[in-house]
Amino acid sequence: MSEFAFERPLVLWLIVLVIICFIKCRAKESALLFPHLSILKKAADKKSFLPEFLKAVAIFGLIFSLAGPVAIDKSVELKKRGYDIVLALDASGSMREKGFDKSNPFKTKFEVVKELVKDFIKRRVNDNIGVVIFGSFSYIASPLSFNKDVVNKILDYLDIGIAGQKTAISDALIESISMLKDSKAKSKVIILLTDGIDTASKTPISVAMKMAKKYHIKIYTIGIGQRRGIDERLLSWIAEESGGEYFFARTAKDLHKVYATIDKLEKSEIRGKEFVKKAELYPYVLFVAILALLGYIYIYSKRGF
């Protein structure tokens, strides 16, 4: 909403002096403008309201112009420094294993992961989220999007074995990096979750890591389930090389803590900055004052002054 103000409000005190002069100094004013009062007496008697009004408008308009009238529009812009995050999720056959969630042992690991990932996505209010699914091959399930509801609905349709029964960790990373490489975000993050060992990738992991470094992408890796079934050495190396961190989660409760920890480590920043837009109004006021002055001069010139 716009507000009206003056940049030099002290100038407005001149209005008081002018009013006093109008009341107390009328004869002196005429004497200053027209020294030969005896010659102009007849014309003075013919004074009307209009020229006096125009004179007042010209004088007060000039004072208002000097005071610097402005229309101020204040607005606050929230500068959100969000992240571009890709969640790479293992949907291979081993994710069908049950008992990962002690409170509900009939749920598969993949079902538990989807629930926790949905909760994580909802908390990342200012971030762009994408999802990559991998098994024997990898593919983009959801491109980067700010629409968290759409991303979570897509997760509902994903199931075990949708990308094959094996595990292609390196290919999943390359797919995730390809989604992030053209990102303009200051922070680009991949969170890769798996319960197995890379058995199906067509591209060496060294290529994926070179790409991650080239595009300044940080990778967090999460191993879930039984340690004997996870290549923790590889996952640790991937995280360390990219500036991320490796986490192990034996149960659903542990995995919940892992996502909460990552959420804190990669906290989005929100800053408020007030912008003030000023529109100068003095040209309009000055224009009216000049018109009034010209009108005043015209009237008196027609009277023979």
Q: pLDDT digits over 141-161, tens only?
A: 999 999 999 999 999 999 999
SS3 58: helix
* Residues 59, 187 within the same domain: no
* Residues 260, 142 within the same domain: yes
> What average pLDDT does range 16-42 have in this prediction?
59
What does pTM read for this prediction? 0.65
* Residues 90, 51 within the same domain: no
* Residues 146, 50 within the same domain: no
* Residues 263, 116 within the same domain: yes
DSSP 3-state helix, strand, coil percentages of the chain (rounded to 5)?
A: 50, 25, 25
* Residues 161, 230 within the same domain: yes
Contact 36, 261 (CB under 8 A): no
Percent with pLDDT over 90 in the chain: 56
Domain of 135, in residue numbers: 83-267
Tell me, what CATH number does 249's domain have?
3.40.50.410
* Residues 202, 296 within the same domain: no
Look at the chain and report how many structural domains it folds into. Answer: 2
Selection from 121, 116, 193, 123 nearest residue 152 by Cα: 121
Q: pLDDT digits over 247-265, tens only?
A: 999 999 999 999 999 999 8
* Residues 216, 161 within the same domain: yes
In a domain, 272, yes or no: no
What integer pLDDT is reported at residue 45 of this predicted model?
47
Please identify which residue in the block is written with the tokens 């002069």. 21
* Residues 60, 204 within the same domain: no
Q: What is the mean pLDDT of the chain?
A: 85
* Residues 229, 135 within the same domain: yes
Percent with pLDDT over 70 in the chain: 84
Q: pLDDT digits over 65-116, tens only?
A: 888 887 777 665 555 567 999 999 999 999 999 999 999 999 999 999 999 9
* Position 40 confidence tier, pLDDT thresholds 50, 70, 90: very low
